[in-house]
Amino acid sequence: MDRRIWKARLMPNMRDEYVRRHDEIWPEMIDELRAAGIRNYTIWNNGDELIGYYECEDLTACEAYKAQSEVMRRWSVSMQGIMEMETDPEKGSVKTFDQLFKLM
């Protein structure tokens, strides 16, 4: 099982809108997340920080699916002005995190 963590920043005064949009998440977005192999997806918030975590069977296949998904592209566009994903300036893509410790 592969795991992915992402980090983002809420734009000022947008927490309520962010929550509302996730309370009303598009059914086709849920379908696309599942089709990409994503499971156990959770998002946390502290101040203006967002941290997301999910699991998938094959991270490479998951990322490839997400990259070609029109629904996910529309969702990303719809979230502009509400949040900003933290990106890796060298790669120009969503910043990834290295696992340093795991307790089972």
List, by residue number, the catalytic residues. 22
**Residue pair 33/41 in contact by the 8 Å Cβ criterion:** yes
Q: What's the start-to-end Cα distance of the chain, in Å?
A: 14
Q: What type of residue sits at position 76? A: S
